[in-house]
Chains A and B, each alone.
Chain A
Amino acid sequence: MTILTLIFLLPLLAAIALAFVPRNFAVVMRAVAVGVTFATMLLGILMFWQFNGAAADASGYKFVSTIPWLGAESLGIVCKLGVDGLNVGLVLMGAIVAFAAACCSFEIKSREKEFYILLLTMTGGILGAFMSLDLFFFYFFHELALVPTFIMIGVWGRGERKNFATFQITIYLSIGALLALIGLIALYLQLPADVRTFDIPTLTKYFTENPMTVSAQKFIFPLLLLGFGILVSLWPFHSWAALGYGSAPSATAMLHAGVLKKFGLYGLIRIAIPFAPEVARAHLQLIAWLALGNLLYVGWVAMKQKNLNLLIGNSSVAHMGMIFLGIASLNLIGVTGAVVIMIAHGFLAALTFGLSGYIYNQTGTLEMNELGGLAKKLRFVGVAFVMAAMAGCGLPGFLNFVGEVSVFFGAWQVPALRLVTVLAVWGALIIGAVYMLRAVRAALHGDMPEKWANLSDVNLWRQLPYALLIASLLVFGFFPRLLTDKIKPVTEQIVNMATVKPATPVTPAAVVMVESK
């Protein structure tokens, strides 16, 4: 039992164990959930700490382990786990956010048993998806985490439009996931029948040596882009996100917006772009302009919001644009920056949704015209919220700054993307600052309505998750090389795979396409 197996099996086993605890022991459920996610987080930190010293296998993955009793070897499905620089940070972030989410689940007062079972399943699924080195299990674990999301929003969600939100998020994300599944199966079928496998390192090796035909790429890449794009709320497939997160219980929003959503981006970087490089390159412009849609259009929508949670939800969608822009730049700095933002945004989204959840729990509303002056009563929450807002605007010192600045540098290096980059900088820095600061002013500053006079601030124990998330943002913000040194070698390899022309001659269509660029 290696460290990676433990990290993802612990929450899943705990979820199974909870099924056998009688439902009146709500305290036990809570204690188990918090305890197990805490252990998972410690293991995650330990893994991150040991990462540099650990021995890598031939394809550069560390801590590789297989779970022999899972999967179907005859189809080339093996549950194989491993981390390299690309996902080690994501796994760590997922483990930290999962602990924070479990801590923030105080608000759940009904059906605790089901809630914590689902929360732990989701945690296990998320961590499994990011660690999986097998395409089948990559999808499998994602789906395992996705379904609890729908149920949690439908049952423990809030707001009048909860049912519609559940409906919408279920449809959108199921379509996205299934489209991606078709793409992944088609990818797998590109291999000759006798060597077919879902093993990512083997696939990488195979497609480096025998590049996929352009006609196959033309079928597979758009499917993956669309499927993953819907999962990441790429504009114009973003409309599920803000409402869905606005209606979700805080823990669900934290885990989904923070971690699970990054699955699509991770899939694009790890699979779609390096395996289908020619067609991917042809789509970069498109991705960049869609990313601009996220930054400008969704940013503008965020500015118009009257509800704090919808604003945060929209801002989280807007931030995805930055990551897409980094991916579209397809150079070392840009993609590395994108991965850094993925991690930074995970902490940030978890922090903001956790805080707004606390405010909602205290006030029963998140309409900004009803709030105001809350910082007078909720001192810790106020300070934490201002810090989150600053991180969201990209203030140096927070990890977000590192990522955004790298993405802009990376995108600027691509002449074709200059216009998009300029617009994106405006969108990110000006629009982002406007709505974030407005939210801070409306909710935290100004006169406090009478009715909020008896609010109470978070007690010391409950400050822990927020402090932890802020600390993560700051630590990595001040020492970004903890992440970038790990990410860089992998992104370099991926960028090389995606940009170096294949050694074997490509079909005429591909040549025309490359030249017309």
Chain B
Amino acid sequence: MNLSLMSLEISVVALGIVVLLADLWLPVQRKRALGYFAAAALGLLFLNSFTGNCSCASVGEAFGGMFIQDGLAVFFKRLFLLAGALVLILAVEFSDRIAAGISEYYSLIVFALAGMLFAASSNDFAMLFVSIEFITITFYVLTSFTRSKVAALEAGVKYLILGALSSAFMIYGIALVWGTTGKFNFSELAAVSANFATNKLFLFGVLFILVGLGFKIAAFPFQMWTPDVYQGAPTPTTAFLAIGSKAAGFVLLLRFLFGAIPEVTAQWTNLLIVISAITILYGNLCALPQRNLKRLLGYSSIAHAGYLLLGVAAMSTLGVNAATGGSAVLYYLGGYLFTTIAAFLVIALVLRHVESEDVAGLAGLQQRSPLLAATMTLAMVSLAGIPPLAGFFGKFLLLKAVIEQGATNGGFYCLAFVALAGVIISFFYYFSVIRAIYWSKETPVITPIVMSRPIQFAVWLTIAGMLYLGLFPDAVLKLTSEAVAVLK
């Protein structure tokens, strides 16, 4: 046992408990600010992770190899901490729309974050399942937190039913894999998985586990829940779902595919190519007619899952330089963090008094708050993948990785063209959002939007992040390639 490796997770769980307990003694009017405290604490933990005196600085295994601390885990933990801090700031802004129990809302976000941190380090089926359930169950509550709204309840129920179904698939898959191989630990499994590459039962098990993970990342055909849940859930929850939950799914996917069963993954390159292509097309095509902003971002998030799978597919060849695919996935997630949080910050602030989060609600934003208008524009432009923002460089890396593998499998060339088609389709709905901000016909409400200091900070941070990752990719690239180096 090596508890010190887990000091980060322990601090985050402790933070969640502190927030819960503080609720007992704090006067009502001050509870709202508790979110700032939690966000600041997470921010400090994030900064601390770059110093030497953090568990992130050490490498190793704990609990008999269940828990692993390596470059990949550390990269994702930083990502999650940053996302958690930003989402908490957003939650404070949103708190007046939550009828009761705001402290519980904060603490649930912190607990979900803890689940993600564990997911980043899981090296074992038990850890994988427990961390996924940890995340998903907190999200069931977070999704239906505004329980007076029917849409939120509907979202919660849908997420619950489909989530439970996918968990069932996953646990069944784990049972099959364990039954055939007798291994629970990823590193041990990797040593023997090649022997089972033709074992039908084992392959079914793997497939079922992928079903569960596909649900988390919202890949086709497990994407059904995404638009409804994104639309119905409170905005901070949606934001956390979009980046945190998706990134957790991807780190588990990477660990499982490349840490536990690399030889089997190499057989399934074509499957990954097809899933990636369909996910891209499905997400982008379905986003086209959407008028609800959160629903639109839900479909766009499916499309982005597809783009991210480009990198996974490229990596699955295990060929020369295949790791660049994984590195591109990590980079893309980094850019996606700032971009989605920026978009949801704007949605939460601007569509405050609008019942339906319609795209038209952005009308006149240019007059109401030029800063938010610019933020939303940058976010959309970055999602569309246009220089000089993070989204462009991420897509560039993914495309590069895919074309690089074209020599081994011609399907990758087709995949590159599908990705291109997806990008072009996406221009329409992203630009329709921008058009609504600047050039809508209706005369909108022109009340200036007041922003608190922390929100302003969060907005500027996301802008800086999008530009930094778009213009100065070198430092983060180094981190991502170090992180994927641990996956063989």
Interface residues of A (CB under 8 A from B): 19, 69-75, 77, 111, 114, 136, 140-141, 143-144, 147, 150, 154-155, 170-171, 174-175, 178-179, 181-182, 185-186, 188-189, 193, 219
Contact = CB atoms under 8 A, between A and B. Distances in A.
B471 A171 contact: no
A317 to B, nearest CB: 22
A244 to B, nearest CB: 16
Among A141, A143, A150, chain B packs the most CB atoms within 10 A around the CB of A143
A114 B400 contact: no
Contacts of B416: 182
Contact of A185 (B386, B399, B423, B424): B399
Contacts of B471: 70
B334 to A, nearest CB: 14
Interface string B444-488: 000000000000000000000000000111100110010000000
Given A75-B473, A143-B392, 13 more contacts: A70-B472, A71-B474, A74-B477, A74-B478, A140-B387, A143-B386, A143-B387, A147-B381, A147-B386, A155-B439, A178-B424, A189-B404, A219-B413
Contact of A178 (B321, B387, B403, B420): B420
A97 B161 CA distance: 62
B477 A72 contact: yes
A75 B481 CA distance: 11
Q: Which 7 A-B pairs have the closest CB atoms?
A: A72-B473, A72-B474, A178-B420, A140-B387, A143-B387, A185-B400, A189-B404
A188 B401 CA distance: 12
Given A72-B473, A72-B474, A189 B387 contact: no
A110 B404 CA distance: 47
Contacts of A189: 400, 403-404
B interface bracket (residues with beta carbon within 8 Å of A)? 20 to 34
Nearest to B476: A72
B423 A178 contact: yes
B320 interface: yes
Given A114-B438, A182-B420, A185-B400, A144 B474 contact: no
| Chain B interface helix/strand/loop/mixed | helix
A254 to B, nearest CB: 23
A348 B97 CA distance: 60
A141 B387 CA distance: 8
Contacts of B474: 71-74
B424 A155 contact: no
A74 B481 CA distance: 10
A144 B400 contact: no
Contacts of B196: none
B94 interface: no
Contact of A182 (B320, B386, B399): B399
Nearest to A193: B321
A174 B387 CA distance: 13
Contacts of B417: 182
B411 interface: no
A71 B474 CA distance: 7
B427 interface: yes
B438 A140 contact: no
B368 interface: no
Contacts of A155: 438-439
Nearest to B406: A186
Contacts of A150: 431
B387 A144 contact: yes
A114 B377 CA distance: 13
A185 B477 CA distance: 18
8 contacts: A19-B374, A77-B473, A140-B392, A154-B435, A170-B427, A179-B420, A182-B417, A186-B406
B284 to A, nearest CB: 13
B65 interface: no
A150 B424 CA distance: 14
Given A72-B474, A72-B477, A185-B399, A193 B320 contact: yes
A155 B431 CA distance: 12
B43 interface: no
B424 A174 contact: yes
Most chain A beta-carbon contacts within 10 A, residue among B381, B396, B417, B481: B396
A18 to B, nearest CB: 12
A182 B474 CA distance: 22
Contacts of A72: 472-474, 477
Contacts of B420: 175, 178-179, 182
Nearest to A216: B407
Contacts of B403: 182, 185-186, 189
Contacts of B438: 111, 114, 155
Interface in B406-445: 406, 413, 416-417, 420, 423-424, 427, 431, 435, 438-439
Residue of B374, B387, B413, B420 most packed against chain A (CB within 10 A): B387
A181 B397 CA distance: 12
Tell which of A70, A155, A175, A178 has the most Cβ of chain B within 10 Å. Answer: A178
Contacts of B381: 147
A414 to B, nearest CB: 33
Nearest to B435: A154
A174 B477 contact: no
Question: Most chain-B CB neighbours within 10 Å: which of A69, A70, A186?
Answer: A186
Contacts of A69: 472
A144 B389 CA distance: 10
Nearest to A146: B386
Contacts of A170: 427, 431
A114 B321 CA distance: 43
Nearest to A77: B473
A73 B399 CA distance: 18
B173 to A, nearest CB: 36
Contacts of A181: 396, 399
Contacts of A144: 387-388
A141 B399 CA distance: 19
Contacts of B406: 186
Nearest to A167: B428
B285 to A, nearest CB: 15
Nearest to B386: A147
Contacts of A154: 435, 439
B363 to A, nearest CB: 15
Task: Point out which of B320, B392, B431 has the most chain A C-beta atoms below 10 A from its C-beta.
Answer: B431
B411 to A, nearest CB: 15
Interface in B336-392: 374, 381, 386-388, 392
A205 to B, nearest CB: 22
